[in-house]
Structure 1
């Protein structure tokens, strides 16, 4: 229908018109979309949230699209870094570059891309920022992609625990709570633990059976350390089950990721 034009010229003209249409639409609804797109949803101001709501948009759905869009944007950077790494390794193997030169170039590239969270961490943040019951199919697919050895139910359960802990005051308070639970548990034979004690163990993020086994071993090791403030009580009592840090790597441990 336009024999006198190339496909590139036509495509460029269509893109410009599409951009103009988007700009008019964005201006019409009163939402500062530029700020929405360039700001992490967790940092949106109340004014920006009010604009989104007043325009009749689903704020949670938009927030998730923005988060996943940021994840996909970072994929390109990571792919470029991987490709550069392969080229550098090939150059070193062929003798065109020394190993030291290769390390220096790779470090320079990492620093150029650095300062940004990895794709894995971005997906983790998106998952943590949303109730697992409200995860979209797209977010679930992204989560399973980085945790192929786990089911979505296992991951959701681990995320719920971490969200609950965050609501209770964060990791520092959690560590203090875990320490107190471990000290109380060490002072009593596990067979005599009350229901309240068992509930406290569960709130601390520990599996009751594993925690009990750890405490029994610790009590048998006494009097190696009788100091009730010994930090090892906390870590050994709930070995491999205590949640010590807010990171995707730790969540993967909690859900039994074979990696």
Structure 2
């Protein structure tokens, strides 16, 4: 049951992860003299804001004849699509790198939150977690793999990790965020806590390093879903060997 719950959550995260790449760069300009943003895609629903010509909104998606948008005050609403002209914003390389790191952090946080808030966590008392550890650019990052207690504190455990395959899927989603930007290689270094007398005091040990070389990978196939990340990733561990046991 918990496997179905977590796997379904991962599928949702994969959609959110790919969708976020599209929406962040698409702005909309109001093309009519005056219109309104509504709670629902319906002129009879409550109006949240008045929008004048050339007002900007962030496009989140489309629902029939309506655009789902984010307003200047960060609230979400609907605007009649014919009143919106699209504009694709150019963002700098540095902004793209920062955004990718934020997206990776958010992806990890969402996964960990889903696991921590599940009934599986209540039953097991400890759950697996994958946390952002370090990295200044999205081509070379370090992640911390550990078991955590209800206070989200790393703890040692001799138990097996029942969500190992889900964490492998999470790594795939992170790689999808990384390869949006062009680098010669994409590296994920996974570390585990160095438990001193059963306590984590900030020191870590290497667990596995994953490297994807651009020159040896067909990124178009990976992005298009016809190729697997694991066909090209170099690692001392195969995917099925990763995350099987908790660090201790």
TM-score normalised per structure 1: 0.29
